[in-house]
Structure 1
Amino acid sequence: MKDEPKLKCLAQAAQALGRAQSSEAQWSEISRLVDSIFGYSLLTGLAFLKEQRLMRRIFSSDETPNPSGGFKATGKGPWSVQVLDRGRPYIGSDEADIRAVFSEAELLIERGLHSVLNLPIWGAGCVIGSLNLLSHRHAYDQADGQLIDLVSGICAPFAFAVEHLGPVALPTL
């Protein structure tokens, strides 16, 4: 994509997200946007519950390997520090990278998901979640950092879904 089509896509997404009247409409637009800019085979959206150091899956484009509603402990490893604490994206290129960050790595790899792009989502000055895009090997190696930041910023309205999660029964870990 040249710059002009990318800008048009980003502008359309920003307007559509602002006008979306439900979280389903927001996720539909977020899915369309990240697919047109980066591509993906699996997209998940996770809310970050900072106090508990947990991620809660609030969206999945495929419920089989990654159903909505599930929780994941974040720990304090390099991925958590980079994405959740520093708010910087993470790009994993191959199966070794998938294994380093996903507890369900073997299931993902079996499905042909060998690379990952994690986009931190900011709200009210801190990371409130992430978008996780998975695809074939090396799919995101050349991802443009400015586009990553723009898409992350445009997708911040998914905070609406985070703010309206209501009381959450936390899992016993």
Structure 2
Amino acid sequence: MPDAAITLDDIARIDAIIAESDPAVAYAAIDALAKRAFDHWLFTVTRSIHATMEVERVYSSNPAAYPVGGRKKKQGTPWGEQVLDRGQPLICHSPEDIRRVFADHELILSLGIGGMVNIPVLFAGQSQATMNMSHAGDRFSEADFPALRLLASRLLPLVLAEKD
């Protein structure tokens, strides 16, 4: 469960920032709210590139390790099938889960990350983006999905504005 509740006032504040600010400011505000609510170690947002089944990073709380613009191929991967094709969240509860799911698991684990959650941002029947949060261990659960989906939904206008 979240460490701190995400309130309607929080969402209204985020919406105002999205409406009136540069996208970088809005991404950072969503990151800050996610940090307060879930105490994440790493927060990234990727946009979906359907033609190539790739995701491209549009925001990162750790640009040294995960720079904006970085791409990952997801075609034929369990992650791609679950998050992009079926539009379902994915939780890694342990380093073993991370090794099983991510080709870049060595980098992920080198950052001290042992658990993560990936939330698809859905629109028009497709995953347009993902919101990704990581922590030291088994931090996230299905009980977090309502708050995570609410927060992830705020990313939609930002990501759609990024589309080619």
Q: State the Cα deviation string for residues 87-127 of structure 1 (Å, max 9, x = none).
A: 12111111011112222111211211111111111244421
Query: Would the aligned equivalents of 2:44 and 2:57 in 1 still touch at CA under 8 Å?
Result: yes
Aligned in 2, Cα 1:80/1:32: closer, same or farther, shift over 3 Å? same
Alignment of 1:59-78 (within 5 A): 59-78=59-78
- Render the CA deviation track for 1:62-102: whole Å, top value 9, x for unaligned: 12221121111002232212111121211111101111222
Check conservation: 1:123, 1:159, Cα contact below 8 A: no
1:142: Cα distance to partner? 5.9
Q: Which residue of 2 aligns with 1:170?
A: none
Aligned residues: 162
- The amino acid that maps onto 2:122 is W
| CA–CA separation in structure 2 for the residues paired with 1:132 and 1:75 | 18
Q: How far does the alpha carbon of each residue in 1:129-168 deviate from its partner, in whole angstroms, 9 at most, with x for none?
A: 11111111011136422112211212212224422xx5xx
Asked whether the 8 Å contact 1:17–1:29 carries over to 2, the reply is no
- Whether contact under 8 Å (2:115, 2:139) holds in the other structure is yes
Name the structure 1 match of 2:132.
Answer: 132
- The 2-side partners of 1:93 and 1:23 are apart by 31
Alignment of 1:150 with 2:150, yes or no, is yes
TM-score when normalising by structure 1: 0.83
Q: Which residue number in structure 1 is paired with residue 17 of structure 2? A: 16
Aligned residue for 2:59, secondary structure, equals strand
Task: Extract unaligned runs of 5+ from structure 2.
Answer: none
Provide structure 1 residue ranges, at least 5 long, that are not aligned to the other structure. Answer: 167-173
- Quote the RMSD (CA, aligned, Å): 2.0
TM-score normalised per structure 2:
0.87
Cα distance in 2 for partners of 1:153, 1:8 equals 15
* Per-residue deviation, 1:15: 2.7
Distance 1:66 1:148, change over 3 A: same
How much identity, in percent, do the aligned residues show? 26
